[in-house]
Structure 1
Amino acid sequence: MPQKENSVEPWLRGGRQQVHAVPRAVLHALDLAREDFERWVWPLPPGLLEEQPYGLPSVGFQARHIARSLDRLLTYAEGSPLSPQQRDALAGEHSPATAIESREEFETSLRLADQRIQALPLEQLEQTRYVGAARLPVPLAALLVHLADHTQRHAGQAVTTAKVLRALHTAEQS
């Protein structure tokens, strides 16, 4: 059963004070995504993770998309282009996976993202990075903020879909 609705979010807990403000805010967003999945997504019956109620993207897709987009965005943040393997992973985000595979990929990606974000040189926050095939220029700090926004957007979609699935599943049980 989900925890109470008004728990204090990571950014309000005062943690990670040793980390610079920009990466700290990004890490707090990732912490919140992890907690939202723990609270709303992973308690779902495994068979529901790939369901698409009302045509919504599945929570399994959202988990894979968050995991793989973190890897892609951090690759750009590190100043590198995407590898062929990353391009293949992007193409496969809609392919169903087991609940265990989706959870492991999601949790591993958040753990690795935490390490990669903390390893980024702070003196480069205003330096340009290039994103996508078009190599669009963006400051590293802006790329990190987008990484947080993007993760939270998809975590929110996963939570909403999980709530819909829970309601539909409960109604079917009645």
Structure 2
Amino acid sequence: MPAVGRAVLHALDLALDDITKWTAGLSDTEVHTKPLGLPSVAFHMRHIARSVDRILTYAEGNQLTPEQFAQLKSEQGSDESETLAALIAEVEVSFANAADRIRTLATADFNTFRGVGRKQLPTSIGGALIHVADHTQRHVGQVVTTAKVLKALQ
């Protein structure tokens, strides 16, 4: 597999490690808390899991399905019945499902045009793959920061 594919998969592995490490010790209630007005850990975890799927959908040359749109709209929701374990499991399943897609995309011509969204904003297969890693890591950073704030407030 080309280096870009390995790098994206490695970024997802690191993301899961950081999520697991930094959320350890948080209660199910705390992951839904918005300390100091920050978005909740639960939001970021849902967003990480679901955005990987959406970005890869665009990388594959497809548009989002009605189910993906519904999931996007529900990310900000406050389903406080979700446990930390369920949120981590959603990320794990998302990353596992993404792995084969990333391996396949990593063998394609990275310069192949891909349009994102209704406006068909321009990117490429390579750009979308890099965005999976970058976007995921940015939100993992928010999970870490929010988890640290929550732990400081305990």
TM over 0.5: yes
- Match in the other structure for 1:53: 35
The TM-score with structure 2 as length reference comes to 0.93
Greater C-alpha Rg: 1
Which residue of structure 1 aligns with residue 132 of structure 2? 147
The amino acid of 1:144's aligned partner reads L
Report the Cα distance in structure 2 between the residues aligned to 1:53 and 1:163, rounded to whole angstroms.
10
Deviation, 1:41, is 1.5
Contact in 2 for aligned 1:67/1:105 (Cα 8 Å): yes
Measure, in 2, the Cα distance between the counterparts of 1:102 and 1:123. 32
Q: Equivalents in 1 of 2:100, 2:89: separation in Å? A: 17
SS in 1 for 2:7: helix
Q: Partners in 1 of 2:108 and 2:91 — Cα distance?
A: 29
- The equivalent of 1:160 in structure 2 is 145
Equivalent position SS for 2:122:
strand
- SS of the aligned residue for 1:137 comes to strand
Cα deviation code 1:91-146 (max 9, x no counterpart): 00011341233222111111111121012252321111111111112111011111
CA distance in 1, matches of 2:135, 2:87: 18
User: 1:62 pairs with 18, 23, 44, which one?
Assistant: 44
2:89 counterpart residue number? 104
**Contact residue 26 and residue 144 of structure 1 kept, 8 A:** yes
Counterpart in 1 of 2:23?
A: 41
Pair 1:119–1:42, CA change in 2 (3 A): farther
TM-score normalised by structure 1 residue count: 0.82
**Root-mean-square deviation (CA), in Å?**
1.2
List runs of 5+ in structure 2 lacking aligned partners: none
- Distance in 1, matches of 2:93 and 2:34, equals 24
Give yes or no for contact 1:130–1:137 (8 Å, CA) kept in 2: yes
In 2, the alpha carbon distance for the partners of 1:49 and 1:144 equals 28
1:58-105 residue CA offsets vs partner (Å, 9 max, x unmatched): 000000000110010010011110001101110000113412332221
Q: Distance between the aligned counterparts of 1:121 and 1:30, measured in 2?
A: 15
> Displaced runs of 4+ in structure 1, greater than 3 A?
none
